[in-house]
Amino acid sequence: MTALLGLSTRLGLARLLLITGARADEGDLSEFVDACFSGGVDLIQLRDPSADQDRLLEALRTMRRASYRYQGLVSAYKSVELAEEFEADLLHLPERGESPAAARGHLHRWALIGRSCHTNEQVDAALADPEVNYLTVGPVFGGLTPDAGLELVRYATRVAPPGDPDSKPWFAVGGITAATLDRVLDAGAKRIAVSRAITAAADPEAAAIALKDRVRQAWNADPAMQSLTFQVFRH
């Protein structure tokens, strides 16, 4: 558990979520995470099915050390046992498996829980679940039906307007790149989650800066998002 307070405030202001593996092949996790936070990533989620529990725990601790100077957020994925051992501030759950209510018992009192949502019904369920603090919505691109993900983003925008302080934060996810980002923002998203757009970039920090700047422009152009920023700070 981090010593810093205000997890909900930092989540409410988060705009750019990065999903990454432990980068065992590259051997540069600490430097990579530092570059990403420096470039404007707000939240990093570790997701690496090839790594065992010990490697994941080591990677999460490395990410947390890098996050301190930026007040960045670090999230475990799926495993409640890993989240408990890590004393995770955030745990992201897939659309199936452990229930948020059951997962809550493995976390510290201030920890936040995210949920992956791939359908309108899953979005509705996550929004109605008092144990879920934020959502990811997608895949926006790369699904079976072209543009189906954009319709899901539009649905999430209607039922959980990003500028409404009573709405849970949600991140559009799935195949989002600098080239496709404007389409996602036009559909109503104000927070995005990416992976290869940063992990495969020759300069991860520059890639993060470009994405974050474009999302920041969308926030600044929307009076509701500007108002939300002030309201989040007050809580």
Does residue 143 surpass a pLDDT of 90?
A: no
Model pTM score: 0.95
Give me the phi and psi of 204, to 5 degrees please: -60, -35
The predicted pLDDT at position 235 comes to: 60
User: Domain containing 187 — which CATH number?
Assistant: 3.20.20.70
Does residue 114 surpass a pLDDT of 90?
A: yes
Query: What angle, 0 to 180 degrees and rounded to 10, lies between the N-to-C axes of helices 53-67 and 29-39?
Result: 40
Q: Is residue 2 part of a domain?
A: no
The 10s digit of each residue's pLDDT in 68-113 is 999 999 999 999 999 999 999 999 999 988 999 999 999 999 999 9
Does residue 233 surpass a pLDDT of 90?
A: no
Structure tokens at 46: 């570790």
Q: Is residue 85 part of a domain?
A: yes
Q: Is residue 94 part of a domain?
A: yes
Spell out a b/e string for 86-105, using b for 16 or more CB atoms within 10 Å of the CB, else e.
bebbbbbbeeeebebeebbe
Side-chain half-sphere of 53: how many Cα atoms within 13 Å? 9
Host domain of residue 145: 7-234
The predicted pLDDT at position 3 comes to: 44
The 10s digit of each residue's pLDDT in 16-65 is 999 999 999 999 999 999 999 999 999 999 999 999 999 999 999 999 99
Cis before 139? omega within 30: yes
Q: Is residue 224 part of a domain?
A: yes
Does residue 5 surpass a pLDDT of 80?
A: no
Q: How far is CA 88 from CA 78, 80, 106, 159, in A?
A: 12, 9, 9, 29
Counting the structural domains of the chain, the total is: 1
Query: How close are the terminal C-alpha atoms of the chain, in Å?
Result: 21
The predicted pLDDT at position 1 comes to: 46
